[in-house]
Amino acid sequence: MVATQPRVGVLALQGDVREHARVLSALGAEVALVKRAEQLAAVDGLVLPGGESSVIDKLARAFGLQQPIRAVIAGGTPVYGTCAGLILLADRIDDAIAGQESFGGLDVTVQRNAFGSQVDSFETDLEVDGFDTPTHATFIRAPRVVAVGPAARAIATLGNGEVVAVAQGNLLGTAFHPEVTGETRFHELFLERVRSA
């Protein structure tokens, strides 16, 4: 059982690292910015931030982080991925660029930039399993989950049924960015998993 103040890592290679660190700190977590493999051993949970999934993938391999992160995921450490982080958690990427890989662990297929470019970014309210009220979600060059395997489950969908948030054991992924809208319930859910892992 983790102490009441869990130590949570945010993968700090590229993307909206500060935004996640701010939310997690406000919720009482001790935050560590993870840039090296040895730093993973000192965290109770890991956040994979939004950004450019292909760039984070390349940097993770260049810094020797890919296999250690895969080991952390396989070992049951709670991991939360937003946007690019969801792509990095997915077992399958529908339209990966040449040579792009993921860390895997989440039994889903995702499609990168599924809703279009930056100018096609949008906001909407979503019903989320386990939340009493809808969440206001911001989609920025967001992926979408195009297939959910038997090990994972959808926890939020758009009005047309497209899956935009998934959970599987200690893994959580959202296609949108709660860290930029003041929505803290996904991070709270993640921290609950960290504390009970």
Active site residues: 83, 177, 179
- Is 118 buried (19+), middle (13-18) or exposed (0-12) by CB count in 10 A? exposed
Pairing mode of beta strands 135-139, 122-126 = antiparallel
Report residue 148: phi and psi, to 5°: -115, 115
Find the radius of gyration of the CA atoms of the chain. Answer: 15
Q: Tell me the HSE value of 45 on the side-chain side, using a 13 A CA sphere.
A: 32
In 3D space, the residue among 1, 79, 9, 80 whose CA is nearest the CA of residue 42 turns out to be 9
Amino acid at 47: V
Please answer whether residues 177 and 82 qualify as being in contact, where contact means their C-beta atoms are separated by less than 8 angstroms. Answer: yes
Q: Tell me the HSE value of 156 on the side-chain side, using a 13 A CA sphere.
A: 22
> Which tokens go with 66?
């890919």
How many CB atoms are closer than 10 A to CB 42?
10
